[in-house]
Amino acid sequence: MTRLKLKFAGDGTVFNSNRAWIILGDHFSDSDGDHHLSAECVTASEVEEAAEYLKKQLDNIVISAKKKFAKR
Protein backbone atom coordinates (compact mmCIF):
# COMPACT_ATOMS: atom_id res chain seq x y z
CA MET A 1 0.00 0.00 0.00
CA THR A 2 1.21 3.51 -0.72
CA ARG A 3 2.92 5.42 2.03
CA LEU A 4 3.19 9.16 2.10
CA LYS A 5 6.25 10.27 4.03
CA LEU A 6 7.88 13.35 5.47
CA LYS A 7 11.37 14.03 4.13
CA PHE A 8 13.16 16.34 6.56
CA ALA A 9 16.56 17.94 6.11
CA GLY A 10 18.27 19.63 9.00
CA ASP A 11 18.78 18.86 12.64
CA GLY A 12 15.90 21.00 13.86
CA THR A 13 18.18 23.34 15.82
CA VAL A 14 18.94 26.24 13.47
CA PHE A 15 16.00 28.47 12.53
CA ASN A 16 15.39 28.65 8.75
CA SER A 17 17.96 25.92 8.01
CA ASN A 18 15.41 23.12 8.10
CA ARG A 19 13.49 21.94 5.05
CA ALA A 20 10.68 19.42 4.62
CA TRP A 21 8.80 17.78 1.76
CA ILE A 22 5.90 15.37 1.55
CA ILE A 23 7.03 12.52 -0.68
CA LEU A 24 5.58 9.32 -2.09
CA GLY A 25 6.85 6.12 -0.60
CA ASP A 26 5.97 2.97 -2.46
CA HIS A 27 3.69 3.76 -5.36
CA PHE A 28 2.67 2.39 -8.71
CA SER A 29 3.02 4.11 -12.08
CA ASP A 30 0.88 2.77 -14.90
CA SER A 31 1.51 2.74 -18.64
CA ASP A 32 -0.03 6.24 -18.91
CA GLY A 33 2.56 7.57 -16.46
CA ASP A 34 -0.04 8.18 -13.75
CA HIS A 35 1.10 7.63 -10.17
CA HIS A 36 -1.41 5.55 -8.23
CA LEU A 37 -1.79 6.48 -4.57
CA SER A 38 -4.09 3.59 -3.78
CA ALA A 39 -4.81 0.06 -4.76
CA GLU A 40 -7.45 -0.49 -7.41
CA CYS A 41 -10.93 0.36 -6.09
CA VAL A 42 -14.09 -1.25 -7.44
CA THR A 43 -16.68 0.50 -5.26
CA ALA A 44 -17.26 4.01 -3.97
CA SER A 45 -16.76 2.74 -0.42
CA GLU A 46 -13.31 1.42 -1.37
CA VAL A 47 -12.40 4.83 -2.82
CA GLU A 48 -13.61 6.46 0.39
CA GLU A 49 -11.56 4.03 2.50
CA ALA A 50 -8.44 4.71 0.41
CA ALA A 51 -8.96 8.48 0.70
CA GLU A 52 -9.38 8.27 4.48
CA TYR A 53 -6.16 6.26 4.70
CA LEU A 54 -4.28 8.93 2.72
CA LYS A 55 -5.79 11.73 4.85
CA LYS A 56 -4.62 9.96 8.01
CA GLN A 57 -1.11 9.70 6.60
CA LEU A 58 -1.11 13.44 5.83
CA ASP A 59 -2.31 14.23 9.36
CA ASN A 60 0.55 12.13 10.75
CA ILE A 61 3.04 13.94 8.50
CA VAL A 62 1.87 17.31 9.84
CA ILE A 63 2.29 16.08 13.44
CA SER A 64 5.79 14.81 12.65
CA ALA A 65 6.79 18.05 10.90
CA LYS A 66 5.59 20.17 13.82
CA LYS A 67 7.75 18.11 16.19
CA LYS A 68 10.83 18.31 13.95
CA PHE A 69 10.53 22.06 13.28
CA ALA A 70 9.95 22.71 17.00
CA LYS A 71 13.39 21.32 17.92
CA ARG A 72 15.15 24.68 18.13
Per-residue pLDDT of the chain (72 residues; tens, 9 = 90+): 568 888 888 876 666 778 888 888 766 778 888 878 888 889 999 999 999 999 999 999 999 999 988 875
Residues 6+ apart with CB under 8 A from 11: 18, 71
List the chain domain ranges: 4-70
Distances (CA, A) of 38 to 16, 18, 46: 34, 30, 10
d(CA 48, CA 21): 25
Q: Look at residue 55 in the predicted model and tell me its pLDDT.
A: 95
Long-range contacts of 23-30 (CB under 8 A, 24+ apart): 26/1, 26/2, 27/2, 28/2
How much is the pLDDT for 25? 74
* pLDDT for res 2: 62
